[in-house]
Amino acid sequence: MPSGSDQSFIESLIRFGNKLKLELNSSQQSLFGDTSTDTIVKPEPVVSDEWPLIDKINKEKELIGMYLTAHPLDRFKPEITNLCNSNFYQLNNELNTLVGKDITFVGIVKAFREGISQKNNRPFGNAVLEDFNDTYQLGLWGNDFVNFKNFFTSGIALLFKWNVEEWASKKDGRKGIAIRLKNIYVLSEVRDELIKAVTISAKLEAINEEFINGILKFVNKSEKNKNSKLLQFKIVDEETNIKIDMFSRNQRLELSDQFFDFIQNFEDVGYQLT
């Protein structure tokens, strides 16, 4: 909104275009072809703060149907890569391959509806979830609905722990696959609540002064900080094929986005979250 004006920038542009068109038409009808378009001042956009990333990408999805700048789950990639072993494509298309397994996956809540069954008076909820590539409709019934319904706020990213098992009806012999919900976590809290240790794996030649000094920036002795994790190392000498596992007794690693950015700068260094 321009300062001292009650019209938006778009409205100012429209008024500018109309005035310019009117002046040009007037000059064409003038005997001498004079024009005063130089006196029309083109409006300038107001300088404003950039939108927060989450607001920006949500508007992209709303207006054009896809994310351009980033995906809302991108900032959780360390947690997703290390903790998850399934996704919505598998749940929708390959559920039979997951029978007998404990699975962990993430999704963003896109919509949630709750109600009460007219047949047996059981409360239920239906959630529409989205990950990087697919969507999934999750039904909550009975105690699962009562225990977990408060997690399903639109836009919240969640981590799910499920068990997939076969079932058979003794009454009529019907068979199927059931998904048992074990737990749900707010994805932004997983780093504090679930991750206990960080194991840094590196080739021997990658352990240099730059790497050591960089790691020390994330090391502290406090166990009270939820971001402080047990620090472990796996060092590999490829020439001799010797592998050494080590851990720190009195130093802990402060897990942060800056740590993940630092590790990515080293081609021969990786990490595992457990």
- The residue ranges of every structural domain in the chain are 1-48, 74-188, 195-273
Secondary structure of residue 75 in the 3-state scheme? helix
Report the candidate in 104, 204, 250, 207 with the shortest Cα–Cα distance to residue 164. 104
pLDDT tens string 112-125: 999 988 888 889 99
Find tokens 């993430």 and name the residue. Answer: 106
The pTM assigned to this predicted structure is 0.76
Using the structure block, give the residue that is written with the tokens 């939820």. 226
**Dist CA 146 CA 125 (whole Å):** 9
- State residue 2's pLDDT score: 44
| % of the chain with per-residue pLDDT over 90 | 58
- In this prediction, residues 204-211 reach a mean pLDDT of 92
Interatomic CA distance for residues 274 and 231, integer angstroms = 11
Enter the CATH code of domain 74-188: 2.40.50.140
